[in-house]
Structure 1
Amino acid sequence: MNLTLRVPLESFVKLFREMGVLEYRYFVKHSIQVANITTEIVDRLKLPFEKDEVYLSSLLHDVGLILKVSIGNYELFVEMFGKIPDMERIVLTLDKNDHHSVISWMVVSQIPLCSDCSKSILYHHTPYQKINEKDSIVTLSNCVKTADVISLKLLKYTGSDKELDAESIDEIISSIQKDQGIIDEVKKAAVYLLKDFTKHHLFLEEEPQFHSEKMLSLEEYNHYAMILSALLDFRSPYTRSHSFAVARVSKLLAEEILGEADAALAFTASLLHDIGKIKTPLSILHKKGRLQASEMIIMKRHVVDTYYMLERAGLRLFSLISAAHHERLDGSGYPTGLKGDQMPFLQKLIQICDVFSALTEKRPYRDPVEIHEALDIIEQEAINGKLDGFIVQKLKEIANNLDLREEISFKHVFEELFKDRVDEVIQMISLMSKMI
């Protein structure tokens, strides 16, 4: 395996865009609008920041809202997200103390971005007069705040697929001009943008205005992949650690059998293995009984969605590995019925880790299976010719030396996302202490 394997940064933004469905419809739209508008204002003001970093930090300015609300008040998360275009109402209802700004900053500060860019997220609801930071952070934060205000009002006016009319534009301009928490030069740039009809595509269309030639190492890219995995897994209480658990076990197995480089590839491919499930309705994911034939069609489609989402993002290496996690050695799997000699080793490895993780997690139709029982089930699948027996035995050896229940516990999700700030996040999210 080539240790210098590089991943296009642009693929992250493409995948983020594709997650704008179901519960994340308005969240992703808002995020892209804020990133597009912020970058345009920063460019007009000629602020000394790299365009890529401004875009990425502002794109992720609200990611903490998902992490907080989906855990702290899941019922309202399901009730409001994807159904109510008024994101401002959602924030005021579910995060009155603005914890999500802090949580977003904590997540983004783990990404290899300039500290000023990531810190701008912390103050995206704060009037510039109340920011006690150096001027560059104050101004950039104010640009994000202004873009956020514009997008929130746009969603109110256009969220239900209405067109932006002249009266709405006038109201948005007026609100920006009257906002005492916005710096005058930022106001001027924002109003200019709103009056320039050639720029309206930046906020009326839902396409990211992001183009980058930058390539990342797997280690660098994993910070981004973990954010996507968290957004995916936090849609449901039944999957909150699934992608991370598969990734951790895949990494352990690959390190044991193949070495560090292949383990890094297995980790990333596992983080993204279920990304297509973002399009699977919760009504199917949460069904307590047996799925009907038509429901099973939708459920099985997630592997195809995973494949094409990764392909469109320019991640062909991951698409080939990740989308094969329901294939089986005897050809009985899906989507293409591959057989053993048609599958590379990492596909076989992730299949086993996915089954193991799924068995040991609670599902709407059953309780989690104990580790030893899960290993027995997987071993029987290997005996039946469906899973790779050599890899299964290696997993059993690892289980003899490590507490795998501990290795796949939910706390590791937050350790990966927040590093040494986990305790701070726990204090901001109700119910968290009961889950870790």
Structure 2
Amino acid sequence: MFISITRHLMKENSMNTKISIVKILEKTLNYVDARLVNHGKRVAYLVYRVLKKQKKSDDYILKSVMLALLHDIGAYKTEEINGMLQFETENVWEHSVYGYLFIKYFTPLRELAPAILFHHAPCADLASIPSPYRDPAQLIHIADRFDVLSQTSDYDSAAIRRHFEQRENVQFFPEMLDTFFMDGWETALDAMRTDDSFEEFLYRDRFSDVETQAYLRMIVLAVDFRSPQTVTHTITSSWMGKGLAECLGFAEEDVIHIFVSVLMHDLGKVGIPLDILEKTGPLDEMEMETMRQHVTITEEILSGNVDDKLLRLALRHHEKLDGSGYPKNLTACDLTQGERLIAVADILSALCAKRSYKDAFPREKTMGILRDMCAQGTIDCDITAAALENYDWLMKNIIKANAPVIAAYRLIRSEYEKLLFLARSGIFPSEVLSPQIRPRQATVLSALDNMTRNAFAVLPHESSYPVPLREENPSFLRSAGD
């Protein structure tokens, strides 16, 4: 049975309006660098303003605005952001190529992804590009540079206009400049502060269930892809939680609650320095205190954007029944069965996966640690028993869930190097400009989409004794970078 995720992610306020998943996206990426989030939102507004004047359809405007909002998402992975926000930048291809691939594989904006690849391209590179890609790429490019110049005290409106005129037919097509510099352009960003229609448009619940699922997946992977060690962490934990809930006979809606909340449970790690996340040895006391802040950051990201039940499920995965957990030292009487289940799922996924500081633990060692924790009264014994009894079945499901994520990660890495080399040489493979997808790409895209659909379908668990896996430490649990 398929259950609407939108119903669980969105929360109505007193004015009966809904807060969009866009808020979660903004808040999450804000912890990487607020400057790029704010820059992306201003660029999105400038694009919105132009397309509204052109009377484009709401569907086209929404896709274009989301594309503009995410146009620099590649920079979170590839570049020093200080250089991104200068007047002129020479190294435009790194974040453009990675952003193109990320948009292509992980968002509902797949058909517009080439616009991200070319959003800093000069006219010479754009001349042969089909207009469905060229026009949004140029509009985002103009809006991007307009915003950067507008944030400096050295450029008044006359200097900004002159800057673009000097680059006409080199960086910018004249007709696109005419479109952008319409009446009121001088005060466009000032108008953003008072134009309530933009945020109402952006945050309104306009996404289908499929689109919402894809954007949620994108947010999770934007966090996890910061490091090869964390590529499958959230997917592993969420499927572990889902599988355990199915084993224990949770109601269908509760299974979805578990899955969605675990998807979001570690969003706060986006605010933790990579040198702590990837440390090869044990964390010292100060580092551990910093690491524990990820729960607080997750709360700040999700508060007001999901309902209270989902919020509690996402935030209590480090609490223990005896009060020794964090951040609130809750005890057994404070924790629901779902919250206890997520704690076990998180521990189990950490034990059976490779981390920067340890190898994946074998089956018997993992089971022994869980039994010890149960005996010590820190985790729920009934849930632990279900995890131990169904260990092989859980692992089999996780392997299936992670396979397309690993495949996509590796495909992006290989395509990135190839495409970056060609782009720097002014060469663009025909596949970039064609709606046709190559067989390997199609296989990965189909597998990712199927994985997401299956995640929101609740299936009965028929047997407690499935066929054991051939490997005690499946390859995906080692490292995506291995």
Q: How does 1:33-432 map to 2 (within 5 A)?
A: 33-50=42-59, 51-63=61-73, 70=77, 77=78, 80-86=79-85, 89=89, 92=92, 94=94, 98=97, 100-108=99-107, 111=108, 121=116, 124=119, 129-132=127-130, 137=132, 141-152=134-145, 154-155=147-148, 158=151, 162-163=152-153, 165-166=155-156, 169-174=160-165, 177-179=168-170, 182=173, 184=175, 186-192=176-182, 195-200=185-190, 202=192, 209=199, 210-214=201-205, 220-257=211-248, 258-401=250-393, 403-404=395-396, 407=399, 411-414=403-406, 425=412, 427-429=414-416
Distance 1:188 1:211, change over 3 A: same
C-alpha deviation, 1:10, in angstroms: 4.0
Amino acid at match of 1:398: N
Please tell me whether the aligned partners of residues 233 and 240 of structure 1 are also in contact (alpha carbons under 8 angstroms): yes
Q: Give the direction of change, closer, same or farther, for the CA distance of 1:201–1:230 in structure 2 (3 Å limit).
A: farther
Letter of the 1:228 counterpart? I
Partner deviation per Cα, 1:20-44 (whole Å, 9 max, x = no partner): 4464445434432332222121111
Whether the 8 Å CA contact 1:11–1:313 is kept in 2: the answer is yes
Count how many residue pairs are aligned between Structure 1 and Structure 2: 403
Give the direction of change, closer, same or farther, for the CA distance of 1:189–1:260 in structure 2 (3 Å limit).
same
Structure 2 unpaired stretches of 5+: 11-17, 419-475
Tell me which moved more, 221-230 or 52-61.
52-61
Shift of 1:316: 3.2
How far apart are the structure 2 equivalents of 1:193 and 1:387? 64
Distance verdict in 2 for CA 1:314–1:297, change over 3 Å: same
How far the C-alpha of 1:325 sits from its partner, in A, is 0.8
CA distance in 2 between counterparts of 1:130 and 1:414 reads 34
Equivalent pair of 1:64/1:100 in contact (CA under 8 Å): yes
Deviation at 1:182, TM superposition (A): 3.5
Q: Does 1:11 align with 2:9?
A: no
Does structure 2 retain, via aligned residues, the 8 Å contact 1:245–1:408?
A: no
What is the alpha-carbon distance in structure 1 between the residues aligned to residue 30 and residue 203 of structure 2? 24
**Equivalent position amino acid for 1:55 in 2:** V
Deviation string, structure 1 residues 192-211 (Cα, Å, up to 9, x no partner): 378321434649xxxx8454
**1:254 aligned partner, one-letter code:** A
User: What's the CA shift for 1:409?
Assistant: 7.7
Query: Match for 2:129: what amino acid?
Result: I
| Mapped partners of 1:99, 1:155: distance in 2 | 21
> Contact 1:273 / 1:322 at 8 angstroms: preserved in 2?
yes
Distance apart, 1:322 and its partner CA: 0.3
- Report if aligned partners of 1:86, 1:156 keep a CA contact under 8 Å in 2: no
Residue number in structure 2 paired with 1:74: none
Contact 2:32 2:271 in 1 (8 A): no
Change beyond 3 A, Cα 1:216–1:259: farther
| Range 387-396 or range 291-300, more displaced | 291-300
Larger Rg: 2
2 CA distance for matches of 1:48 and 1:26? Answer: 30
- In 1, the alpha carbon distance for the partners of 2:386 and 2:90 equals 47
Shift of the alpha carbon at 1:247?
Answer: 0.9
- Say which is worse superposed, 424-433 or 4-13, in terms of deviation: 424-433
User: Cα gap change, 1:297/1:390 in structure 2, threshold over 3 Å: closer, same or farther?
Assistant: same
Write the letter of the residue equivalent to 1:293.
E
Bigger shift: residues 18-27 or 239-248:
18-27
AA at the equivalent of 1:15: I
Q: 2: CA distance between counterparts of 1:95 and 1:225?
A: 21
- Distance in 2 separating the partners of 1:328 and 1:90: 51
- Contact kept, 8 Å, 1:129 with 1:181, in 2: the verdict is no
Q: Aligned in 2, Cα 1:154/1:220: closer, same or farther, shift over 3 Å?
A: closer
SS at 1:192's partner residue?
coil
Q: Which shows bigger deviation, 49-58 or 220-229?
A: 49-58
Which stretch of the first structure deviates more once superposed, 310-319 or 380-389?
Answer: 310-319
- Measure the CA separation in 2 of the matches of 1:217 and 1:256: 29
- 1:377 to partner: Cα distance: 1.1
Residue type at the aligned position of 1:342: D
Provide the TM-score with structure 1 as the length reference: 0.77
Change (3 A) 1:53 1:197: same
Cα pair 2:23 2:203 within 8 Å, conserved: no
Question: How much does 1:164 deviate?
Answer: 6.0
Equivalent-residue separation in structure 2 for 1:220 and 1:317 (angstroms): 23
The answer for the alignment partner of 2:41 in structure 1 is: 32
Kept in 1: contact 2:240–2:398 (CA 8 A): no
Percent of counterpart pairs with the same letter?
22
Seen in structure 2, the aligned counterparts of structure 1 residues 396 and 312 have a Cα distance that, compared at 3 Å, is same
Asked if 1 retains the 8 angstrom alpha-carbon contact of 2:319 and 2:325, the reply is: yes
**Conservation of the 8 A alpha-carbon contact between 2:220 and 2:264:** yes
Q: Structure 1 counterpart of 2:405, which letter?
A: V
Indicate how the Cα distance of structure 1 residues 43 and 393 shifts in structure 2: closer, same or farther if over 3 A, else same: same
Q: Read off the aligned partner of 1:94 and give its amino acid letter.
A: E
Distance 1:171 1:281 in 2: 41
CA–CA distance in 2 between the matches of 1:352 and 1:381? 10
Letter in 2 for 1:286: E
Deviation, 1:271, is: 1.0
- 1:384 and 1:217 map into 2 onto residues whose CA distance is 45
Write the letter of the residue equivalent to 2:233.
H
8 Å contact from structure 1 (residues 218, 268) kept in 2: no
CA contact (8 A) 2:239 2:401 kept: no
Q: Which shows bigger deviation, 248-257 or 124-133?
A: 124-133
- Structure 1 residues 151, 95: closer, same or farther in 2, change over 3 A? closer
Check the 8 A contact 2:106/2:215 in 1, yes or no. no
